Amino acid sequence: MNVPLLEVENLVVHFPLPRGVGDMAAGRPRRVVRAVNGVSLAVRRGEALGIVGESGCGKSTLGRAMLHLVPATSGHVRLDGRVVAGLDREGLTGLRRRAQIVFQDPHASLDPRQTVRRALAEVLTLHRLCPRDAMGRTVDRLLERVGLSAALGDRRPGSLSGGQCQRVGIARALALNPDILVADECVSALDVSIQAQILNLLLDLQAETGMAIVFISHDLGVVRHLCHRVAIMYLGRLVEEGPAEVVLRDPRHPYTRALIASIPGLGHGPKTAVQGEPSSPIDLPAGCAFHRRCAEAMEVCRGGAPPARQGNAEHGTWCHLPRAGGTTPIAQETGLR
Amino acid sequence: MSGASLAEVARLPRLAIVGGAMILAWIMVALLAPWFAPFDPIEQDLTRTLLPPNLQHWLGTDNYGRDVLSRLIWGARLDLQMGLVAVAITFSIGTVIGAIAGYVGGFLDTLLMRLLDVTISFPFFVLMIAIISVLGSGLAGFYIAVALVGWVSYARIVRARTLVLRQSDFVLAARSLGFRPARILLRHIVPNAIAPAVVFSMSDAVLYILLGSSLSYLGLGVEPPTAEWGVMIAEGQTYIATAWWMTTFPGFAIALLALAFSLFADGLAEVLGTST
């Protein structure tokens, strides 16, 4: 089967801002946050895909739009080749069962009034995945799979640590046996020592179930160890996409190179760290969204349409400055999976 | 509160336990009035009018020779009922409106909130008295007026919490798990949104007890000869110079009941981490 598991095509997600009376009187148009601006990306069966970018670049919105948790302004999301938008209730339930998400803040992602056991049982009951008399054992097994003792089942999120809450969040997603799991910054709120445990847990579960995982992260340094492929995002657009190994060895886009240069331990590459703040997603610059911070910006980058995809089917970049191969000093340092 | 266990009660601050015990004591007094009250609260005995507190009539008698203590005990029934029923009505209506407005949003939210603004823009007491004047005095009129006016505070509180919770990760998680909107609202948002409203309802009960007795005092609530604290104060007013016990003890009773609810509300607020 060559149909990707989940595919987005020209996905656009805009959030209209509230329009004040003053704006209306002055005839100013409604302002819009352009969180995602035409992203095309495919998630393949069983792979680990990283979506990397700094905060505010739209990566979380992209992840949520993939799961139809925020409505797409335009474009398509396809699951097994079938368009997700406009699904009826049954179709939507099918999507929910197959695609799950784990959030950044482990405490906030659990209902504070529900015990762990009740939260997991609720999912199993509503999807009729488990008969009532087997519920206790099924919940215990779920807890065990994420490395929690069954004794924690009667606790509420308030008396669990961040790492434990995140494991519960993973168990809850796992209860539905999803084909795809979106991990939205799922370790950035945790201690470094716990981060590794949670990431290893996700990789173990992936090996066990064969589900695809989309790691959304601001940290290319973490993602490179986990993912087969990475997609780099900047201001609502992809700037580079390709196999993790290739992108790290041979980054084509100035932004990707800046990200790689800022990875601790790899940082003695060429000093191309980006300066300043990204532009506002409300007032996007014309041309390439990155041109204001790009050291190599040319006249063509500053106006007109954003650059088109360059490169081959595997490794693509959206830049006017296609960079011929050639290894950077970073390449030798990256021991990749 | 769902899931309130013994352990949770034990965490209550001491003053809240005192307040809770006082509320329970008043409820017992009200329920057991026929057994507690030494005399009939209504029957007049014109041979024993305006007796000061003595061994037979602990709190004295009023101008019709009725035992003040017995009227106080029977009055607890009405005053407690006015407080609790009024809060139950306003809490329910306000929570439903607030939760729906906050969760559905859009035009419905705007409509309900404008309705709320209109209601709130009238002075509370004036509006209550106006509605009761139209409906006629009595408990039914009181409760209808309370229902029309009192829901606004709860609607505001619950709507504000719902707006926050609607955006929270666990609600998003519930959506991604395929839970229906009604379930998300009822099982996940409302139970988390009502904590501040529960705390508020305790101090609100005080308000309705005072309001109920004030209206009775003004002749717009419960009517004489029914035993009710506000009625008792109104009747005793004429005799305040000669028979202080007729007004002082019902006044004490109102203060004690109000204090009980306030203490309990403060303690609850502390435990639930909200402030009023």
Q: What is the pTM of this model?
A: 0.80
Q: How far apart are the first and last CA of chain B?
A: 17
Q: Which residues of A touch B176 (CB under 8 A)?
A: 67, 69, 96, 99-101
Three-state SS sequence of chain B: CCCCCHHHHHCCCHHHHHHHHHHHHHHHHHHCHHHHCCCCCCCCCHHHCCCCCCCCCCCCECCCCCEHHHHHHHHHHHHHHHHHHHHHHHHHHHHHHHHHHHHHCHHHHHHHHHHHHHHHHCCHHHHHHHHHHHHCCCHHHHHHHHHHHHHHHHHHHHHHHHHHHHCCHHHHHHHHCCCCHHHHHHHHHHHHHCHHHHHHHHHHHHHHHHHHHHHHHCCCCCCCCCCCHHHHHHHHHCCCCCCCHHHHHHHHHHHHHHHHHHHHHHHHHHHHCCCC
* pLDDT for position A282: 82
Mutate to test the interface with A, among B161, B165, B168, B169 (most CBs of A within 10 A): B169
* pLDDT for position B275: 43
Element (H, E) at A145: helix A135-145
At B91, the pLDDT band (50, 70, 90 cuts) reads very high
Is residue B206 scored above 60 in pLDDT? yes
Nearest to A97 among B178, B179, B187 (CB): B178
Strand order in the sheet with A48-52: A99-102, A180-184, A212-217, A48-52, A229-234, A237-243, A316-318, A309-311
Element (H, E) at A144: helix A135-145
At A319, the pLDDT band (50, 70, 90 cuts) reads confident
Nearest to B176 among A100, A104, A111 (CB): A100
* pLDDT for position A273: 59
Lowest mean pLDDT among A92-96, A200-204, B99-103: A92-96
Q: Which residues of A touch B271 (CB under 8 A)?
A: none
At B3, the pLDDT band (50, 70, 90 cuts) reads very low
Percent of chain B, pLDDT > 90?
39
User: Which chain B residue shows the shortest CA-CA distance from A127?
Assistant: B178
Is residue A198 scored above 60 in pLDDT? yes
Asked whether this complex has an ipTM greater than 0.85, the answer is no
* pLDDT for position A327: 40
Classify residue A3 by its DSSP letter.
Answer: S
At A325, the pLDDT band (50, 70, 90 cuts) reads very low
Residue A176, amino acid: L
Task: Look at the block and give the residue holding tokens 């305790």.
Answer: B202
Query: Over chain B, what is the mean pLDDT?
Result: 87
User: Which chain A residue shows the shortest CA-CA distance from B195?
Assistant: A113
Residue B237 is encoded by which pair of tokens?
């007013």
Q: Does B244 touch chain A (CB under 8 A)?
A: no
Task: Look at the block and give the residue holding tokens 């190599």.
Answer: A296
- Domain segments of chain B as ranges: 79-259
Task: Look at the block and give the residue holding tokens 């087997």.
Answer: A134
* pLDDT for position A17: 84
Is residue A265 scored above 80 in pLDDT? no
For range A74-86, the mean pLDDT: 84
Nearest to B175 among A69, A114, A169 (CB): A69
CA distance A86 to chain B (A): 15
Contact A1, A24 (CB under 8 A): no
Percent of chain A, pLDDT > 70?
92
CA distance A97 to chain B (A): 7
d(CA A100, CA A115): 20
**Main-chain dihedrals φ then ψ at residue A15, nearest 5 degrees:** -110, 115
CATH domain B79-259 topology? MetI-like fold (1.10.3720)
Residue A236 gets the label, from left (phi > 0), alpha (psi -120 to 50) or beta, of left
* pLDDT for position A266: 66
User: CB burial class (10 A; 0-12, 13-18, 19+) of residue A295?
Assistant: exposed
Could you report the per-residue pLDDT of B180-203, keeping only the tens digit for each? 899 999 999 999 898 889 888 988
Could you report the per-residue pLDDT of A158-183, keeping only the tens digit for each? 899 999 999 999 999 999 999 999 99
Residue A197, amino acid: Q
Q: Which residues of B touch A158 (CB under 8 A)?
A: none
* pLDDT for position B8: 61
d(CA A279, CA A286): 11
Nearest to A105 among B169, B178, B192 (CB): B169
For range B216-223, the mean pLDDT: 85
| CB count in 10 Å sphere of residue A28 | 11
At A270, the pLDDT band (50, 70, 90 cuts) reads low
Residue B236, amino acid: G
Could you report the per-residue pLDDT of A84-143, keeping only the tens digit for each? 877 777 778 888 889 999 999 999 999 998 999 999 999 999 988 888 888 989 999 999
Element (H, E) at A310: strand A309-311
Mutate to test the interface with B, among A107, A113, A160, A185 (most CBs of B within 10 A): A113
Query: Over chain A, what is the mean pLDDT?
Result: 84
Pairs across A and B, CB distance < 8 A: 55
Element (H, E) at A35: strand A32-43
